[in-house]
């Protein structure tokens, strides 16, 4: 069973501890005083995870509010799906890049435009950019969750069946007016 605890690294950033098996030389998970409450929170829905990254928890609330959306955990990453098609990825240190981000599908050409004009916030994620995906950094300053929500809804509408996409767009348009 996977166990993830959040720690405060010496540089002040949160990091994810490796799984600790019973009888491990490390002697079990870190004491509660080492947990960083700003980046982590208790996971009520995932009893196998003692603490979950706050950014992932907030992203989960946005994504799972959409019709038929599901979450699949992939180690320190998570994917959000609509009928077995991924519409959002939460990437945490993807291939050792040290970046925490949310990756979404966007309209053709928008990914390169965002990544080239706002390099400090957006980048082209490995293996996905050529399919129209862009990643927004969640570790580079204050996160604008309204902007994340716009990206999530746009990605959902590009991936979801037309009927569900129409429902979400109609609901989103009604809340903007």
Is residue 150 within 8 A of residue 161, CB to CB? The reply is: no
Average pLDDT over residues 71-97: 92
Instruction: State the pLDDT at residue 79.
Output: 96
Q: Which two tokens stand for residue 176?
A: 């903007």
Burial group, residue 138, by CB count within 10 angstroms (0-12, 13-18, 19+): buried
Q: What is the CATH number of the domain that holds 117?
A: 3.90.1150.30
What average pLDDT does the structure give for the chain? 77
- The answer to whether residue 140 sits within a structural domain is yes
CA distance 8 to 11: 8
- The answer to whether residue 167 sits within a structural domain is yes
Instruction: State the pLDDT at residue 60.
Output: 96
pLDDT category at 51 given cuts 50, 70, 90 is low
- The answer to whether residue 34 sits within a structural domain is no
Instruction: State the pLDDT at residue 120.
Output: 93
CA distance 60 to 54: 10
Is residue 102 within 8 A of residue 88, CB to CB? The reply is: yes
Q: What is the pLDDT of residues 5-15, one digit of tens each?
A: 333 333 344 43
pTM > 0.85: no
Is residue 157 within 8 A of residue 117, CB to CB? The reply is: no
Give the chain's domain count.
Answer: 1
Q: What is the pLDDT of residues 87-142, one digit of tens each?
A: 999 999 888 888 999 999 999 899 999 999 999 999 999 889 999 999 999 998 89
User: Which SS3 state, helix, strand or coil, does residue 102 take?
Assistant: strand
Residues in the chain: 177
Average pLDDT over residues 51-56: 82
Q: Are strands 77-82 and 69-74 parallel, antiparallel or unpaired?
A: antiparallel
- The answer to whether residue 96 sits within a structural domain is yes
- The answer to whether residue 75 sits within a structural domain is yes
- The answer to whether residue 14 sits within a structural domain is no
Token pair 């799972």 is found at 64
Please compute Rg for the chain using Cα positions: 17
- The answer to whether residue 13 sits within a structural domain is no
Domain hosting residue 87, numbered range: 54-176
> Which of 9-23, 49-63, 124-138 bottoms out in mean pLDDT, i.e. has the lowest?
9-23
- The answer to whether residue 47 sits within a structural domain is no
């Amino acid at each position: 069973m996977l166990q993830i605890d959040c720690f405060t690294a010496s540089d002040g950033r949160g990091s994810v501890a490796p799984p600790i098996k019973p009888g491990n030389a490390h002697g079990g998970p870190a004491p509660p005083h080492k947990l960083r409450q700003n980046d982590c929170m208790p996971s009520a829905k995932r009893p196998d995870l003692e603490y979950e990254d706050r950014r992932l928890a907030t992203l989960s609330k946005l994504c799972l509010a959409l019709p038929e959306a599901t979450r699949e955990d992939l180690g320190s990453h998570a994917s959000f799906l609509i009928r077995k098609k991924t519409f959002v990825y939460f990437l945490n240190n993807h291939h050792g890049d040290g970046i925490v981000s949310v990756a979404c599908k966007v309209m053709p050409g928008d990914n390169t435009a965002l990544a080239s004009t706002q390099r400090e916030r957006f980048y082209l994620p490995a293996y996905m950019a050529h399919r129209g995906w862009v990643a927004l950094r969640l570790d580079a300053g204050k996160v604008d969750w309204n902007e994340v929500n716009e990206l999530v809804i746009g990605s959902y509408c590009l991936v979801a069946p037309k009927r569900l996409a129409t429902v979400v767009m109609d609901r989103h348009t009604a809340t903007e007016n």
